[in-house]
Amino acid sequence: MSAHVVGNTNVMLGRSIRHVTRSMDTIITVTIMPIAFMLLFRYVFGGAIQTGTANYTNYLMPGILLIAIASGISYTGYRLYNDLQSGIFERFHSMPIARSAVLWGHVLTSVVSNAISAVVIIGVGLIMGFRTSAGILAWLAVAGILLLFTLALTWVAMIAGLAASSPDGATAFSYPLVFLPFISSAFVPTATMPGPVKAFAENQPVTSIVNAVRALFDGQPAGHDIWIATGWCVGILVLAYALAMRVYRRKIS
C-alpha cells in the first residue's frame, strides 16, 4: 500500500472516529448490551446452567465478546449507508484521494471501536470474577482471532451498507450475527442440545471461535479449534471483501 493511500486512509479513519465519538448512543448501545447479557447470564441463569466449570464468567466471556463485535458491526453498515445517501462519496471521489481509502476508513474505525468495546467488557468481566491464566502469546492469539472476526464481519457490513436501500436494510444483517452465539457453545455446552440443534451448533463458525478463545483464556491448548476458527474468519473475510469491492466499483462507476 503506497504512502498516498495510507495517508488518505488515515484521514478517512480520523473522520469516522470523530463521528463515532460524537454519537454517544452508539457507544452506549454497543458496550452496554453485551454487558447486560453477561450480567443476565451470570447472575440470573448462571445458577441453573451446568457447564462443568467452577467459574461461569470465564465460560461466558468469549461469547460476550463476539456479541459485542457483532453489535458494533451494524453501525459500520449504517454509517457507510449514510455517507452514500448524503452524497459525500461523490465529493470524495472528485478529490485527488485513493478511492479505496473511503471504505478502509470505515473498516479501521470498526476495528478501533470494537477493540475499545472488548477492553471495556473484559474490564467489567474482571470485576465480575473473570480470571485468566493466559500468557502473552495466548493473549496475542486471542487478539488475532478477534481481529480476524471483526474484519470478516466488517466487510460483510460493507456489502450491506453499499447495497441497502434503507437504514434498516443497512443494519438488519447484523441481527442473525448477534444471536448466532446463542446457538453455539457460548453459553451452554453443545452436548446438552437436541440432535439437530447440536449438529448446527457444532458446525457453525461461532462455536469454534468461542472454543478456541476459551481454551486460550484458560491457558489450555486450543487444538484444532483455533485452525477451524481461523479458517472460518479468513474464508468469510476474503469472500466478503471480494463482494464488497465488486459492489463498490459498481456504485462509483
pLDDT band with cut points at 50, 70 and 90 for residue 215: very high
pTM, full prediction:
0.88
- Contacts with 181 (C-beta within 8 Å, 6 or more apart), sequence order: 63, 66, 67, 70, 187, 206, 210
pLDDT band with cut points at 50, 70 and 90 for residue 37: confident
Q: Can you tell me the distance from the alpha carbon of 85 to that of 248, in angstroms, rounded to the nearest whole number?
A: 14
pLDDT band with cut points at 50, 70 and 90 for residue 184: very high
58-67: per-residue pLDDT in tens? 999 999 999 9
Q: Which amino acid is at 224?
A: H
User: Higher confidence at residue 51 or residue 239?
Assistant: 239
DSSP state string for 27-82: HHHHHHHHHHHHHHIIIIIGGG---S-S-HHHHHHHHHHHHHHHHHHHHHHHHHHH
Least confident of 30-39, 60-69, 79-88, 107-116: 79-88
Closest CA to 26 of 84, 85, 76, 89: 76
126-151: per-residue pLDDT in tens? 999 899 988 999 999 999 999 999 99
* Mean pLDDT, residues 207-236: 92
